[in-house]
Amino acid sequence: MEKIDWIIAGVGVVALVATTLGVLYEEDLTGAQDITFPLDERTINVPQSTAFASAGTLTAPAGENATAAAMDVTVSFEGNAVAPQGGATVRVTVTDPAGNVLPAQTQTMTINNAANGGGGVDVVFSFDLDFGTVPADTTVDDVDDLDASNTWADGYTIDVSVTNPADPFTNVPNGATYSYAAAAAITESYYMHQVVVTDIQGGA
Q: Please report, as ranges, the residues that interact with another protein according to CB under 8 A.
A: 4-5, 7-8, 11-12, 14-15, 18-19, 21-23, 25, 27, 140-141, 143-144, 146-147, 191, 193-204
| Neighbour tally for 8: CB within 10 Å | 12
- Which of 62/83 has CB closer to another protein? 62
Nearest approach in angstroms of CB 66 to another protein is 17
- Which of 65/163 has CB closer to another protein? 65
- Which of 128/199 has CB closer to another protein? 199
| Neighbour tally for 63: CB within 10 Å | 20
Nearest approach in angstroms of CB 14 to another protein is 6
| Burial bucket for residue 135 (CB in 10 Å: 0-12, 13-18, 19+) | middle
Nearest approach in angstroms of CB 147 to another protein is 5
Nearest approach in angstroms of CB 149 to another protein is 10
- Three-state DSSP class for residue 158: strand
Cβ contact 57:158 at 8 Å: yes
- Which of 45/194 has CB closer to another protein? 194
| Neighbour tally for 27: CB within 10 Å | 12
Nearest approach in angstroms of CB 67 to another protein is 16
Going through the chain in order, the beta strands assigned E by DSSP cover 32-46, 53-59, 66-77, 86-95, 105-111, 123-129, 157-163, 176-189
- Which of 107/139 has CB closer to another protein? 139
Nearest C-alpha neighbor of 156 from the set 109, 93, 200, 87: 93
